[in-house]
């Protein structure tokens, strides 16, 4: 019975991750599919480019919440005595990965989704809040300095497993180190085109903060 419950929760994690926030928002309020424009991805970054900041923020927050919700479902199993405390982190990782895969390959819209970075962030927020906040800070610093969201995503993804190598962050939980490097590889694989464009100097820049002009000056 416990095994069946775990399987059902795993399926729910994938289905939650599969919710195509940007596609539904774009089609419902703007009458367009964001995958037909920009980079062709159904993620927050492309939503910012295609639909604007407000829509992009909504999509990003919902996608983060998807990852956090799916990952946190493991805690419900723990309180229901379906999983032990020793296995809680494992099931958090499992449900989180299923949510990220759901975002990348959403069943609702033909398995063509986004790159899963926002959903991954929600997953990490549920697993390790302190490390997640540091990764967010690193992401913002990189994007503000370079104006490349893809570069910020890749470096922030690498920062997590490196932080897990520090004993104060991951005492007696080597599984988080392995998970971190696996996720970093996934982020690199989903950003292959971005990496090529970065190397060729062709990647699109994103300005997070614009200074208002006064009298022709910023």
- Of 44-53, 89-98, 104-113, the one with minimum mean pLDDT is 44-53
Domain of 139, in residue numbers: 129-207
pLDDT in tens, 146-189: 989 889 999 999 999 999 988 888 666 788 889 889 889 989 99
CA 188 to chain centre: 13
- In which element (H, E) is residue 42 found? none
Residue 173: its pLDDT value, please?
75
* Token representation of residue 39: 């980079």
CA pair distance 47, 67, nearest whole angstrom = 18
15 and 50, same domain (yes or no): yes
Domain presence at residue 216: no
24 and 119, same domain (yes or no): yes
CA torsion sign for 190, 124, 121, 167 is: negative
35 and 121, same domain (yes or no): yes
Domain boundary among 127, 150, 170: 127
The yes-or-no verdict on residue 122 having pLDDT over 90 is yes
Domain presence at residue 215: no
CA torsion sign for 205, 102, 159, 186 is: negative
Domain boundary among 81, 100, 127: 127
Residue 171: its pLDDT value, please?
65
Residue 38: its pLDDT value, please?
85
96 and 179, same domain (yes or no): no
Q: Tell me the pLDDT band of 208, cut-offs 50, 70 and 90.
A: low
State the average pLDDT over residues 80-96.
89
200 and 190, same domain (yes or no): yes
35 and 107, same domain (yes or no): yes
Q: Tell me the pLDDT band of 11, cut-offs 50, 70 and 90.
A: very high
Domain tally, the chain = 2
Domain presence at residue 214: no
Q: What angle do CA 73, 167, 81 make, to 5 degrees?
A: 25
85 and 136, same domain (yes or no): no
């Amino acid at each position: 019975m416990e095994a069946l419950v775990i399987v059902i929760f795993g399926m729910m994690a994938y289905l939650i991750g599969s919710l195509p926030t940007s596609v539904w928002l774009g089609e419902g309020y703007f009458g367009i599919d964001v995958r037909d424009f920009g980079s062709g991805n159904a993620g927050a970054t492309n939503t910012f480019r295609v639909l604007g900041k407000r829509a992009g923020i909504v999509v990003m927050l919902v996608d983060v919440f998807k990852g956090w919700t799916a990952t946190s479902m493991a805690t419900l199993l723990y309180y229901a005595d379906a999983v032990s405390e020793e296995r809680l982190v494992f099931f958090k990782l499992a449900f989180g990965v299923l949510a990220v895969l759901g975002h990348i390959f959403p069943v609702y819209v033909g398995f063509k989704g986004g790159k899963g970075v926002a959903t991954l962030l929600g997953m990490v927020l549920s697993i390790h809040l302190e490390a997640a906040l540091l990764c967010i800070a690193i992401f913002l610093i990189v994007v503000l300095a370079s104006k490349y969201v893809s570069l910020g995503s890749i470096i922030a993804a690498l920062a997590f497993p490196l932080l897990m190598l520090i004993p104060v962050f991951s005492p007696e939980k080597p599984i988080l180190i392995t998970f971190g490097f696996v996720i970093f590889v996934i982020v690199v694989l989903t950003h292959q085109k971005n990496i090529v464009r970065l190397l060729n100097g062709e990647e699109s820049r994103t300005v997070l903060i614009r200074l208002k002009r006064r009298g022709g000056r910023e």
